[in-house]
């Protein structure tokens, strides 16, 4: 992959919540939760944890995106209200 294509793929993954654009053997490392997700299906589960199960009306704003030919590093600000369990953290009582 070239740099521009990797940048486009990671933006599609995060901002459109679409893991189908990623390689079958993708590795997603969530530094905030200290978890690693191996493969496209696990990456889909990662997206679901944030955007489907855990938070309502959430948004992600890209702060930093650095892409190489095989790796991408992304820093983003995530905003939303927790409405379900999130990676083992129970809902905080907000409805």
Considering the entire predicted model, what is its pTM? 0.77
| CB distance 41 to 50 below 8 Å | no
Domain count, the chain: 1
Domain-located, residue 93? no
Instruction: Provide the β-strand partners of residue 85.
Output: none
Domain-located, residue 90? no
Structure tokens at 94: 């907000």
What is the rounded average pLDDT of the residues 13-30? Answer: 89
For position 68, which CATH number holds? 3.10.450.50
Q: Residue holding tokens 């939760």?
A: 33
Interval 48-67: pLDDT, tens: 888 888 887 788 888 998 88
What is the rounded average pLDDT of the residues 22-32? Answer: 90
Interval 75-89: pLDDT, tens: 989 888 888 888 888
What is the predicted pLDDT for the residue at 40? 93
Which domain, by its residues, includes 40?
A: 3-82
């Amino acid at each position: 992959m070239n740099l521009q294509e990797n940048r486009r793929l990671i933006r599609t993954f995060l901002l459109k919540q679409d893991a189908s654009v990623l390689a079958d053997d993708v590795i997603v490392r969530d530094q905030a939760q200290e978890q690693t997700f191996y493969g496209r299906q696990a990456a889909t589960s990662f997206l679901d944890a944030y955007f489907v199960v855990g938070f309502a009306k959430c948004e992600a704003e890209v702060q930093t995106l650095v892409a190489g030919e095989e790796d991408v590093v992304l820093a983003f600000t995530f905003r939303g209200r927790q409405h379900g369990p999130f990676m083992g953290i129970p809902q905080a009582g907000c409805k």
